[in-house]
Amino acid sequence: MADVPNDNHVARYCRHRNVQGTNVSGKEFELKLKRDPPESYLSVNWMEATGKSTIDDELIVIRKAIPMEFHRKDRIARLHVGTARQKVFQNIGRLVINFRKIKTKGSHKTYSGIYDIPMNDQSNRAVGMQLAMVASGNLYPAQEPTEESS
Please give the chain's pLDDT, 150 residues, in tens: 689 999 999 999 999 999 999 999 999 999 999 999 999 999 999 999 999 999 999 999 999 999 889 999 999 999 999 999 999 998 887 788 899 988 877 788 999 999 999 999 999 999 999 999 999 999 999 998 775 544
Note whether residue 4 is domain-resident: no
Note whether residue 146 is domain-resident: no
Q: Which domain holds residue 35?
A: 9-141
Note whether residue 2 is domain-resident: no
Note whether residue 50 is domain-resident: yes
Note whether residue 149 is domain-resident: no
Note whether residue 150 is domain-resident: no
Q: How many CB atoms lie within 10 A of CB 149?
A: 9
Instruction: Determine whether 114 is exposed, middle or buried from the number of CB atoms within 10 Å of its CB (0-12, 13-18, 19+).
Output: buried
Note whether residue 58 is domain-resident: yes
Note whether residue 77 is domain-resident: yes
Total number of domains in the chain: 1
CA dist list (Å): 131 to 10, 105, 124: 11, 28, 11
